[in-house]
């Protein structure tokens, strides 16, 4: 998987110049600023609390990464963007958008490990979610990580920023949020929290039931930077134990995890499996994927079964793919918590999403 990510980053100098000039044209930068001897700066119009900094990383004419700052988060944060091949050739056409949320220990570059995400049918946006951001506005803002309002960053800043700078179809019928592992939680949670924004959601091996002790313990492990066995299943696919960043208090993200005197009220409020939250998904296109092998997907299967059963009781349609040991999905999949399964799951899902976008008109 490391080699796949490296191939996505590698390009010759001459190709980088040409790609930068092409992306400059796509983003509307003056042609006079695109010199043959150097890539022109790729600058979005700042707004919605986001300011672009540094030099964009140009991977190809349809694949680039920008870096932004925001008062909602400490530090700088990347946003990787995949454009359809036809984006430049069709300057009046607008496109649906899929937001990809990476997993714990991951980064925006994880999107390159699932080639189906770079689709000619849609724009794909992969915003930074932090090593352990958990797609939440943290209960504690004074940890070693400082400001940590990830949900606000994504839903009130990144989404309108992308709509303002790219030719998107800016409605819920043409906007999806998808993710895996920690990002699988984020995708389902965002779809519930902001049904006005997202009409489609997919959770792959997601930690989507905070009623499960095992999933709460997973969140705590990331807060306390307890890597252990988690190193072998880093969602970045790097095979290296990068850890989850600085130690923070076990109550930092969602408050106390202990169900005593309602101390865990934040966990309950944001639990994607809670019937009250699932009820908000009426009219949303929902897909769940999971395997059942290994110490993690054993639990994500249980969580996914719970969510599917509750959706059925609520009479909310959904599609559920439990690929078990992976043999029914792909030769690369062993049913575990990695891109050997997630890449083919996205290869199955993205054409279906494209068809749903097309059916929406």
Dihedral, CA of residue 90, residue 124, residue 195 and residue 279, to nearest 10 = 130
Residue 7 lies in a domain: no
Alpha helices in 146-208 (DSSP H): 150-152, 159-165, 182-193
Compute the distance between CA of residue 353 and CA of residue 332 in angstroms, rounded to an integer.
22
Phi, psi torsion values for 190, nearest 5 degrees: -65, -40
What's 349's domain CATH number? 3.40.50.1820
In degrees, rounded to 5, the angle at the alpha carbon of residue 15 between the alpha carbons of residues 59 and 40 is: 75
DSSP at 41: P
Tell me the residue range of the domain where 187 lies: 70-359
Compute the distance between CA of residue 22 and CA of residue 59 in angstroms, rounded to an integer.
11
Q: What sign results for the dihedral spanned by CA atoms 158, 122, 179, 238?
A: negative
pTM strictly above 0.75: yes
Residue 253 lies in a domain: yes
Residue 13 lies in a domain: no
Dihedral, CA of residue 173, residue 178, residue 320 and residue 239, to nearest 10 = 170
Residue 342 lies in a domain: yes
* pLDDT digit string (tens) for the chain, length 361 residues: 333 333 333 333 333 333 443 343 344 333 333 333 333 445 699 999 999 999 999 999 999 999 999 999 999 999 999 999 999 999 999 999 999 999 999 999 999 999 999 999 999 999 999 999 999 999 999 999 999 999 999 999 999 999 999 999 999 999 999 999 999 999 999 999 999 999 999 999 999 999 999 999 999 999 998 865 444 444 444 444 568 999 999 999 999 999 999 999 999 999 999 999 999 999 999 999 999 999 999 999 999 999 999 999 999 999 999 999 999 999 999 999 999 999 999 999 999 999 999 999 9
In degrees, rounded to 5, the angle at the alpha carbon of residue 223 between the alpha carbons of residues 220 and 229 is: 70
**At 10, is the secondary structure helix, strand, or coil?**
coil
Domain total in the chain: 1
Q: E strands within 234-296? A: 285-291
Compute the distance between CA of residue 299 and CA of residue 294 in angstroms, rounded to an integer.
9
Phi, psi torsion values for 351, nearest 5 degrees: -60, -35
Compute the distance between CA of residue 72 and CA of residue 75 in angstroms, rounded to an integer.
10
**At 187, is the secondary structure helix, strand, or coil?**
helix
Compute the distance between CA of residue 225 and CA of residue 245 in angstroms, rounded to an integer.
7
DSSP at 166: S
Select from 76, 83, 70, 73 the least CA-distant residue to 166. 83
Residue 99 lies in a domain: yes
Count of residues in the chain: 361
Compute the distance between CA of residue 128 and CA of residue 186 in angstroms, rounded to an integer.
12
* Count of alpha carbons within 13 angstroms of residue 14, beta-carbon side: 0
Residue 37 lies in a domain: no
Residue 18 lies in a domain: no
Residue 89 lies in a domain: yes
CA distances to 17, 104, 108, 134, 256 from 269, in Å? 49, 21, 28, 14, 13
């Amino acid at each position: 998987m490391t080699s796949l990510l490296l191939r996505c980053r590698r390009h010759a100098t001459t190709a980088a110049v040409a790609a930068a000039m092409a992306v400059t044209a796509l983003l509307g930068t003056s042609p006079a600023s695109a010199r043959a001897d150097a890539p022109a700066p790729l600058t979005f119009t700042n707004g919605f609390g986001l300011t672009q900094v540094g030099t964009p990383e140009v991977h190809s004419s349809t694949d680039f990464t920008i870096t932004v700052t925001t008062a909602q988060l400490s530090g700088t944060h990347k946003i990787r963007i995949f454009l359809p091949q036809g984006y430049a050739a069709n300057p009046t056409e607008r496109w649906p958008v899929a937001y990809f949320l990476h997993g714990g220990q991951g980064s925006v570059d994880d999107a390159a490990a699932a080639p189906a995400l770079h689709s000619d049918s849609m724009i794909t946006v992969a915003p930074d979610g932090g090593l352990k951001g958990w797609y939440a506005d943290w209960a504690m803002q004074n940890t070693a990580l400082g400001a940590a309002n990830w949900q606000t960053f994504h839903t009130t800043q990144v989404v309108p920023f992308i709509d303002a700078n790219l030719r998107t179809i800016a409605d819920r019928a043409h906007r999806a949020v998808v993710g895996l592992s920690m990002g699988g939680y984020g995708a389902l949670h965002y779809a519930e929290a902001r049904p006005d924004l997202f009409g489609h959601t997919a959770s792959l091996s997601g930690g989507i039931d905070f009623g499960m002790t095992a999933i709460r313990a997973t969140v705590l492990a990331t807060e306390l930077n307890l890597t252990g066995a988690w190193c072998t299943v880093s969602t970045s696919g790097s095979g290296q134990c990068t850890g989850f960043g600085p130690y923070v208090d076990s109550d930092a993200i969602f408050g106390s995890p202990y169900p005593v005197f309602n101390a865990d009220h934040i966990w309950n409020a944001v639990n994607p499996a809670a019937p009250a939250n699932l009820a908000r998904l009426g009219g949303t296109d929902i897909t769940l994927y999971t395997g059942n092998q290994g110490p993690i997907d054993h639990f994500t299967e249980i969580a996914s079964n719970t969510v599917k059963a509750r959706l059925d009781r609520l009479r909310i349609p959904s599609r559920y793919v439990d690929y078990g040991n992976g043999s029914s999905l792909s030769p690369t999949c062993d049913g575990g918590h990695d891109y050997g399964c997630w890449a083919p799951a996205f290869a199955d899902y993205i054409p279906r999403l494209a068809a749903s976008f097309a059916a929406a008109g």
